[in-house]
Amino acid sequence: MAGVSMNDIKARIKSVNSTMQITKAMELVATSKLRRAKMRAEQSRAYGEIATEAMKKILLAPAVADSPYTRPSEGKKVCYVVIAGDRGLAGGFNVGIFRTVQSLGLENAYVIPVGKKAVEYYRGRAECLTEAFSPVDNLSVGAAMKIARLLIDGFDRGTFDRVVLVYTRFVSMISQVPTHTVLLPLERGAGGQDPMTDEDISELLSSLLPQYLGGMIYGAIAESLAAECGARRTAMNAANKNAEEMIVGLNLSYNRARQAMITQEITEIVSGAEAL
Amino acid sequence: MKEFSLQIVTPDKTAFDGKATSLLIRTAAGDVEILAGHADLLCALGTGRARIRFADGGERFAGASGGFLSVSEGTVRVAATTFEFADELDLDRAEAAKEKAEQRIKNAKSRAELDLAKAKLQRALTRIQVKTMK
């Protein structure tokens, strides 16, 4: 008998096959979810662009110079909004996000984890402000607004003086990049004049801020969901290919083992006949 | 009447993108009507009814809340927190939201809670108003 028994190889082939069925199904699901998530991400981008543009205009005004929201951070505490996924099996998607946060420095920081994986990961590892934003899959605009209010509340009270949003950017179907943006304090543009408005600029700023932040967070969530589906699709695709390769290899050894057995049997018969 | 390009977006969708001749919308300071050639403007939106008029004489009503209105170089952009045209609104849901908000106002414990509930009530009332208006 050659090395492994034929039954063992047969069992391996069967198990690899059933794993492949699962990964194939997951790839299909991720592909169809990706299409929807991508559309959602694209639709939320328009709001992000318009809101950012308007915010830039407001920030150019000299009147916002002494707003508490533009005051440079004094190195007190940081609050991270970390957006990860709900499930694993998406390659390095969740790990990539956690690593990015790690590289930014977790000492002296609060975390608002978004998504099941983020909540699980930061429980006990960091000071979490809330665990309410999970699963990430069906978070609404309202939830994003809630996060924004939470952030502004903490910022106003001086609990932290810097807010960083960490999420995965959906670059393309095959490329997803973990990124971070500083939400607060707002960065002031240089020079510029007052935008045309009837309202007091600082008042305008504080009334727009929650909506601006909420929009940015919602956009990041939509973007991250698309990235998660993309990452899962790529990972599952690779798993399928690996499984296929394994099956080819296993089939080969199965056939070899079978051939070796036949050869051995013939040899035994022949030598048995000769001995007579 | 002259047309201008109008873009209305909310965080989760683009509600409208096209040409219009007039936009009436509730800002934090009261209703404003924007026509073609309006000077540059930037202001916060309140909660209320919005009306868009088109070159062919047609008009559409919607309920809008939150966000801001920006006019720059002849393009009008509205980035609202919610913006729903009358035909997208669900009356039953709005009625339910109204009742829930009223309950919350009664049970509100803090100032922030009360403000939030009031904003919710205002949104629900706007939706009902837009839907039942004809």
Cβ(B110)–Cβ(B72) below 8 Å: no
Stretch among A61-75, A82-96, A220-234, B6-20 having the lowest mean pLDDT: A61-75
C-alpha–C-alpha distance, residues A233 and A23, integer Å: 9
C-alpha–C-alpha distance, residues B15 and A117, integer Å: 33
| Distance between B9 CA and the closest CA of chain A, angstroms | 6
Closest chain B CA to residue A205? B44
Angstrom CA distances, A71 to A150, A185, A201, stand at: 19, 6, 16
SS3 state at A134: coil
Mean pLDDT of chain A: 87
Closest by Cα among B126, B32, B132, B117 to B78: B32
Closest by Cα among B47, B93, B41 to B69: B41
C-alpha–C-alpha distance, residues B46 and A94, integer Å: 39
Give the pLDDT score at A198: 57
Would an 8 Å CB–CB cutoff place A154 in contact with chain B? no
- Give percent of chain A above pLDDT 90: 46
Stretch among A190-194, A203-207, B10-14, B52-56 having the lowest mean pLDDT: A190-194
Q: Chain B residues with CB inside 8 Å of A57's CB?
A: 42, 70, 72
Place of tokens 């939320």: A44
For β-strands A78-83 and A162-170, DSSP reports them as parallel
pLDDT band at residue A18 under the 50/70/90 scheme: very high
Place of tokens 């209105």: B69
In the stretch 184-203 of chain A, residues with CB closer than 8 A to chain B read 195-199
Total-model pTM = 0.83
Please give the class, per CATH, of domain B4-87: mainly beta
The topology under which CATH files domain B90-131 is: 1.20.5
C-alpha–C-alpha distance, residues A263 and A269, integer Å: 10
Answer yes or no: do A195 and B13 touch at CB < 8 A. Answer: no
| Interface mutation vs chain A, best among B7, B12, B32, most A CBs within 10 Å | B12
DSSP symbol at B48 = E
Answer yes or no: do A44 and B66 touch at CB < 8 A. Answer: no
Q: Which helix (H) or strand (E) holds B131?
A: helix B111-132
Answer yes or no: do A207 and B42 touch at CB < 8 A. Answer: no
| Distance between B67 CA and the closest CA of chain A, angstroms | 6
Cβ(B90)–Cβ(B81) below 8 Å: no
Is residue A196 pLDDT above 80, yes or no? no
Is residue A267 pLDDT above 70, yes or no? yes
Nearest by CB to residue A199, choosing from B10, B44, B66, is: B44
Give the pLDDT score at A199: 62
Is residue A250 pLDDT above 90, yes or no? yes
CB atoms within 10 A of CB A3: 10
**For range A160-166, the mean pLDDT:** 91
Give the pLDDT score at A192: 58
DSSP symbol at B87 = G
CA A151 from chain center: how many Å? 21
Helices (H), B4-110: 91-107
Question: What's the pLDDT tens digit per position in B72-121?
Answer: 888 999 999 889 888 877 778 888 888 888 888 888 788 777 887 888 88
Closest chain A CA to residue B15? A43
Would an 8 Å CB–CB cutoff place A145 in contact with chain B? yes
Give the pLDDT score at A1: 45
Let me know how long chain A is: 276
Place of tokens 């169809």: A32
Q: What is the 3-state secondary structure (H, E, C) of A236-262?
A: HHHHHHHHHHHHHHHHHHHHHHHHHHH
Q: Chain B residues with CB inside 8 Å of A51's CB?
A: 68, 79
DSSP symbol at B74 = T
Considering only residues A51 and A244, tell me which one the structure prediction assigns the higher pLDDT.
A244
Helices (H), A105-188: 116-122, 141-157
Q: Chain A residues with CB inside 8 Å of B5's CB?
A: none
Place of tokens 């999970």: A134
Q: Chain A residues with CB inside 8 Å of B123's CB?
A: none
Cβ(B107)–Cβ(B36) below 8 Å: no
Answer yes or no: do A215 and B79 touch at CB < 8 A. Answer: yes
DSSP annotation string for A25-66: HHHHHHHHHHHHHHHHHHHHHHHHHHHHHHHHHHHHSGGGGG
User: B47: buried, middle or exposed (CB in 10 Å: 19+, 13-18, 0-12)?
Assistant: buried
Let me know how long chain B is: 134
Answer yes or no: do B12 and A196 touch at CB < 8 A. Answer: no
Give the pLDDT score at B126: 83
**For range B119-126, the mean pLDDT:** 83
Q: Which helix (H) or strand (E) holds A214?
A: helix A201-275
Question: What's the pLDDT tens digit per position in B6-50?
Answer: 999 988 888 899 999 999 999 888 899 999 988 888 888 888 889
Would an 8 Å CB–CB cutoff place B87 in contact with chain A? no
Considering only residues A162 and A194, tell me which one the structure prediction assigns the higher pLDDT.
A162
Would an 8 Å CB–CB cutoff place B35 in contact with chain A? no
DSSP symbol at B86 = G
Domain ranges in chain B are 4-87, 90-131
Closest chain A CA to residue B32? A198
